[in-house]
Structure 1
Amino acid sequence: MNKLFTHRLMRPLAAVFVGASTTLAFAPYQIWPIAIFSPLLLLLLLSNQTPKQAAVIGYFWGLGQFATGISWVYVSIAGFGGMPLAANVFLMALLIAYLAIYPALFAFTLNKFTPSNTLSRFLFAGPALWLISDWLRGWVMTGFPWLWLGYSQIESPLGSFAPIGGVELITLTLLLCSGAAAYAILNKRYQLFLIPTVLISFGFGVRNIDWVTPNSDSTTKVALIQGNIDQAKKWLPSERWPTIMKYTELSRENWDADVVVWPEAAIPAFEFEISSFLRNLDASAKENESAIITGVVNQGEDRQFYNSVLALGVTPYGEYEYDPSERYHKHHLLPFGEFVPFEDILRPLAPFFNLPMSSFSRGDYVQPNIIANGRHMAPALCYEIIFNEQVRQNITDDTDFILTLSNDAWFGRSIGPLQHMEIAQMRALELGKPVIRSTNNGVTAVTDHKGKIIESVPQFETAVLTAELVSTTGSTPYRSFGSWPLYVWVLLSLLLCWRLKRN
């Protein structure tokens, strides 16, 4: 009996380690082939298992992946939650346990509805069901599409597929590579290794296609201010004006830039409290023929609070006045950080559910670009940059750059900010637009339209990044069509598998 129990436990235990290894495919490690090998090993572990056994294996794989891959969340819980160690560990375990449900769902449905060791299982059903589980994770409870496998390929040949079908197409390609290899191993059909070989080779070829055209006549000089403000002190009343003046002085030293960019919520005050200061800053920027973009917290006419982006100086908005309707308001809010699900139940339970600024309201899904000194920028505040479809729909024909303001100081010296930057790079590659990313303490950087970081400053230092960026004209296939071709592919794949199973 003990031997039988140990034997049944071997595959789930192996799945934990396989899942944990997946984190090495992402920043800062970027060992991208692991994103092929990890699903390959998972598919081998699922072979000849009942649906229930498969669900357990998939769940343990998910536990391994998320326990290591989102370990950075614990930094914010422990550092700012105000709860004892046991409570911190419990909350983190709860999040990991929830996210592991999605790999378990993939494994269960794959073994429930597809015959073992058939080609259709590995080349059609497997990739399609993986995408469905990813889409569900990116949608349920506002979504958490972190660690989609495609993000790990920003430096690999397969990253070249991003302008065609986004991060999801890269994920699909990875699963095709893994599925073909798994089928080849299980059935000794080694010629199937040609599929990953061809796909990777094709990625090298696609890399040379220029989907958009850099506009050499349109160069923009930007100055990104990294204030490096201690998150634990930022909102103390005594720190308000020292923080504001620090950003102001660093900006005055860079008035030669076309656009000066401060990070998310750089101003530790509500906008209506410092209107006179902002009016003076607006006039100063205009006098120097420059513009300033900053994150700010404000209160709308509905008395709801918003995490917003404000443009000052040379803008089409006229002289500064307090008008929340002329702001970009963050739409996708961070659960527990910016809003608390089921808050009537959870807020009384622990200090963690009462973090500062955890009661924001949402802006619209699609909003006008921010215009600063004639440059049109599609904003994405912090967490929003991980929602590729939202960013895509906010790009217009006039958009010059993708602008993302963030404050990853909540996550300390963890891998979280580096993964966050990797995601921002993917948005540039998908949409053919350079990304401007301004943060409180890193990663502050700018990319070209292919997602390559062209300038950055060190983390955890007060610094100013200056760079010249070139906007682009034209459109990538992904920007034009989004994920609809993949939805069709998934539907046709599942219909084909259903038909083959019936036959």
Structure 2
Amino acid sequence: MWRATSLRQSFFLGLLAGGVYFWGTLYWLIETMTTFGGLAWPIAFVAAFLLVAYLSLFPAAFAVLLARSQRAFGPSALVLAAPLWVTTELGRHYVWDGFPWALLGYSQVTVLPVAQSASLVGVYGLSALLAFTATGAAALALFRGRARVSYPVVAAAIVMVCVLWGNARLARSALLQAGTPVRVAVIQGNIAQDDKWNPALRDTITDKYIAMTRTALDGGATFILWPESSTPFYFEHDLLRGGDIRRLAREAGATLLIGSDQVESLQAVAEQKAEARYYNAAFLVKPDGQVGAVYRKMHLVPFGEYVPLKDLLFFVGPIVEAVSAFTPGSDPVLLTVDGHMVSTAICYEVIFPNLIRQFVNGGSELLTTITNDAWYGRSSAAYQHWEQSSMRAIEQGRYLARAANTGISGFVDPYGRVVEKTDLFHEAILIGDLRFITDRTVYSRTGDLVAWMSLA
């Protein structure tokens, strides 16, 4: 891109690079929409192609902006590559409804000494670090003289400082002794996607989750998470099986977090009225069996739970809406567990760092997320989703508990270390001793300040 001869060439090189990256990363979209979403293959291909094409516009914009900077400032423009890259990642987050999947910074989530910097600057700050490091490597290939040496030396020095600080933070691990302990269980029911809403399996599925929950209770768990959409019925409207779940919480004196679809009016559903509103929700069932709070998913999955740019993509809308047409929630509701504040993110929305920061700034002492990744089959999507979820624990300095229908479920400590996790497509019960934490990281206080400075 640096050696492109025109802005047009820069644009198409950026578009090509973006297309290769996003097709390689999101290859599983078509199978997800056809096998599990019920879409015809041509429609799924068009939807995936349009999403990849849209996302590729951001690397293309980066290439054009860098080319313009090069014309204005010459070789010195290379120092602008990192802030320009982060600017385009912010664009992916905030333009329209946002799709910040697979940001550059996530590549470091398992490189724990480097990943600790997310507690200071978030995932966008890590993206900036990697982009700046890449400019150092680029300088070796592009320049001669002082510039050839100065870029890589500065980049290497910054990385070294991050690694040393990260290792020191990991060695200290002060947050592991902070706060109040709580024994949490996550239930992985491993219900096949085709079975989840089969009326004939309603009792079988519910009985399985209740039995697995009793096992978790026998293990001393006091806060138990079920996955997203785990009940094959509308929990708040089903007096029989919903009543069984409430009774379970009451008899055990435990708190349950139940993923279940919510509808405002069963009559509107029965009459197939257009005004029927569906929500992807999480219900907190208190030890007295009453519902203490309901959180409605705020960031819906494009082409899975809603249609972005519906006026332009009118040909996709009717098909997607035949599968699911949810309404987004509007409030970041917090949940009270044993007198402590807890937050939950449902599925895809855990990749929005500002939402999780909003929860923590509102008082959340423990992060939870519930999901149904059966949609992704055995593709890499489930692993991508898990690792992006783990980054939230580092950013906020909180334990993370994750309950997934078919995996990956598990616990992550405030430093991004995996306490325990499950394999895909197995029944599993995990019980972990986590902690409610009130300390706040620099990132939770300042947010994406470093990223927004890229726009200056």
TM-score normalized by the length of structure 2? 0.89
Q: For residue 96 of structure 1, report the CA deviation from its aligned partner.
A: 1.6
Q: How many residues align?
A: 438
CA contact (8 A) 2:86 2:454 kept: no
Amino acid at match of 1:225: I
- 1:453 lines up with 2:418 in the alignment: yes
Task: Specify the SS of the correspondent of 1:480.
Answer: helix
Structure 2 residues without counterparts, runs of 5 or longer:
266-274
Match of 1:153 among 94, 108, 114: 108
| Residue in 1 that maps onto 2:277 | 304
CA contact (8 A) 1:211 1:476 kept: no
| Residue in 2 that maps onto 1:64 | 20
Amino acid at match of 1:304: R
Q: How does 1:73-472 map to 2 (within 5 A)?
A: 73-115=29-71, 118-123=74-79, 125-156=80-111, 157-188=113-144, 189-207=148-166, 208-209=168-169, 213-215=175-177, 218-255=180-217, 256-300=220-264, 303-314=276-287, 319-320=289-290, 326-343=293-310, 352-356=319-323, 358-367=324-333, 369-396=334-361, 398-472=363-437
Q: For residue 448 of structure 1, report the CA deviation from its aligned partner.
A: 0.4
Q: How does 1:11-50 map to 2 (within 5 A)?
A: 45-50=1-6
| Residue in 2 that maps onto 1:32 | none
Task: Specify the SS of the correspondent of 2:175.
Answer: strand
Amino acid at match of 1:170: L
Structure 1 residues without counterparts, runs of 5 or longer:
1-44, 492-503
> Cα deviations across residues 32-57 of structure 1 (Å, max 9, x unaligned)?
xxxxxxxxxxxxx4324311101111
Amino acid at match of 1:198: A
Structure with bigger RCO (C-alpha 8 Å, 6+ apart): 2
Task: Specify the SS of the correspondent of 1:169.
Answer: helix
Q: Structure 1 residues 284 and 343 mapped into 2: Cα distance closer, same or farther (>3 Å)?
A: same
| Residue in 2 that maps onto 1:8 | none
Task: Specify the SS of the correspondent of 1:235.
Answer: coil
Task: Specify the SS of the correspondent of 1:114.
Answer: helix
Q: Structure 1 residues 313 and 215 mapped into 2: Cα distance closer, same or farther (>3 Å)?
A: same
> Cα deviations across residues 8-37 of structure 1 (Å, max 9, x unaligned)?
xxxxxxxxxxxxxxxxxxxxxxxxxxxxxx
Separation in 2, partners of 1:445, 1:397: 24
Tell me whether 401-410 or 277-286 shows the greater mean CA deviation.
Answer: 277-286
Q: For residue 350 of structure 1, report the CA deviation from its aligned partner.
A: 7.7
Separation in 2, partners of 1:407, 1:288: 26
Separation in 1, partners of 2:330, 2:222: 28
Q: For residue 303 of structure 1, report the CA deviation from its aligned partner.
A: 4.8
Q: For residue 211 of structure 1, report the CA deviation from its aligned partner.
A: 8.5
Q: Structure 1 residues 212 and 165 mapped into 2: Cα distance closer, same or farther (>3 Å)?
A: farther
Match of 1:484 among 431, 449, 454: 449
Separation in 2, partners of 1:313, 1:224: 16
TM-score normalized by the length of structure 1? 0.81
RMSD: 2.3
Question: What percentage of residue pairs aligned between the two structures are identical?
Answer: 28
Q: For residue 190 of structure 1, report the CA deviation from its aligned partner.
A: 2.7
Tell me whether 210-219 or 257-266 shows the greater mean CA deviation.
Answer: 210-219
Separation in 1, partners of 2:9, 2:313: 34
| Residue in 1 that maps onto 2:268 | none
Q: For residue 242 of structure 1, report the CA deviation from its aligned partner.
A: 1.2
